[in-house]
Amino acid sequence: MIAPDMTFAEYLADPSYGSSDLKTFRAGPPAMVPWRKANRDSETPAMRLGTACHAMILTPNLFARDYAIRPAGMDFRTKEGKAWRDEVESLGKIALTSDEADTIIAVANAFESKKAARNSVLSAKAVECSMFWTAQGLPCKGRPDWIGANEVYDLKVTIAADKPQDRLMRHAYDYGWLHQAAHNATGLREHGFRIRCGRLVMVSPKPPHNVQLIEIGEGDLDFLELHNMDTRQQMAKCHASGIWPGTADEFTKCELPASAAFTESDLTGAIEDFPL
């Protein structure tokens, strides 16, 4: 099923499993999956900023509906500030500071400066569309930021955009963004889309707001999907039984990591870092 008009809050509330749940399961223990699904109310400042940037770039009409910018210098302890805050809250809007608004606008301008990114949104088949399917016996969900004729897109507002490309790709892998692209590609294929690549648009929240445009080819998506499939198969057993194991109940003997095997030459020149 594809639900083009579902809100993000409604999407999060659906009990199906998204790519973030697969990432949580891989990190372990499995018990973290239901715990995190039940404890997603907290929003960090970075998440708040990222959500607002998504709205400004992808659904500007909703940004005006959902957000209000607090005038510079306004103090909520004053009568004027309290009145403004109460009015904003009565309208169901989220109040942003002027500094946050400046960052959001700068991020949106940086995105717009990249013709390939801008045109991909203008020609999108759908924007922030929720989808649901079953794979490996597990009820799944996904919410691509936007969908092209043969591409699935994701927007990330992240300081990783300031990293060299090799470190950026490692970051994208470690944070599950590449597996997310494969997961969403699979969901779209289940709904008749011919997805040949995944694309990430990464924008730094810090000046000069670097923008990185990354494409993951079809072969790499398929390779990542094999990992997703294995994860879903294991999750499906927990989902069916309702048993999500936690950490071990007994002491586990562990070996030292390979990085602990330093040689004398490895330590040469670094001794002064460890004074007596």
Domain layout of the chain by residue ranges: 1-16+115-241, 43-113
Please give the residue that has the higher pLDDT: either 24 or 75. 24
In whole angstroms, give the CA distance from residue 206 to residue 157: 10
In whole angstroms, give the CA distance from residue 147 to residue 132: 15
CATH of 1-16+115-241, one of 3.90.320.10, 3.40.50.300, 3.40.120.10, 1.10.3720.10: 3.90.320.10
Residue 76 has pLDDT above 70, yes or no: yes
pLDDT at 9: 87
CA distances from 68 to 43, 44, 95 (A): 18, 19, 5
Do the Cβ atoms of 181 and 191 come closer than 8 Å? Answer: no
Q: What average pLDDT does the segment 87-96 reach?
A: 87
**Which of 108-112, 164-168, 237-241, 267-271 shows the lowest mean pLDDT across its residues?**
267-271
Q: What average pLDDT does the segment 217-229 reach?
A: 97
In whole angstroms, give the CA distance from residue 36 to residue 135: 21
DSSP secondary structure code for residue 198 in this structure: E
AA identity, residue 169: M
Three-class SS of residue 274?
coil
pLDDT at 274: 44
Please give the residue that has the higher pLDDT: either 93 or 33. 33
